Amino acid sequence: MKQVFNVQGMTCGHCEKSVTTAIRLLDPQAQVQIDRSQNHVEVESTQTREALAEAIREEGYQVAA
Ligand SMILES: [Cu+2]
């Protein structure tokens, strides 16, 4: 299932990697696409929206509701 998140605080490629890694720890099969200029994170995953958002928050980024 594809989910789109608005994620604040990604300033460079390293941030994108951190977010991607956090999601993949939760779901190794997850497909992650990030457009940081738009704060846009698209995730194809079997995990719940809440679990994915929590993983991103734990990396230190804000996820809009
Ligand atoms: Cu960064």
Give the C-alpha separation, 37 to 31, whole Å.
Answer: 19
Q: Are strands 62-63 and 40-44 parallel, antiparallel or unpaired?
A: unpaired
pTM value is: 0.94
Distance 21 CA to ligand 1 centre (A): 13
Quick one: which of 1, 2, 5, 38 has its CA closest to 19?
5
> 2-64, which class in CATH?
alpha beta
Distance 14 CA to ligand 1 centre (A): 4
Distance 38 CA to ligand 1 centre (A): 15
Distance 2 CA to ligand 1 centre (A): 24
pLDDT at 65 over 80: no
Residue-range domain boundaries for the chain: 2-64
Task: For residue 3, name the pLDDT band (cuts at 50, 70, 90).
Answer: very high
Angle between helices 13-26 and 49-58 (to 10 degrees): 130
Q: Please write the tens of the pLDDT for every residue from 8-54.
A: 999 999 999 999 999 999 999 999 999 999 999 999 999 999 999 99
Distance 9 CA to ligand 1 centre (A): 8
Query: For residue 7, what pLDDT is reported?
Result: 98
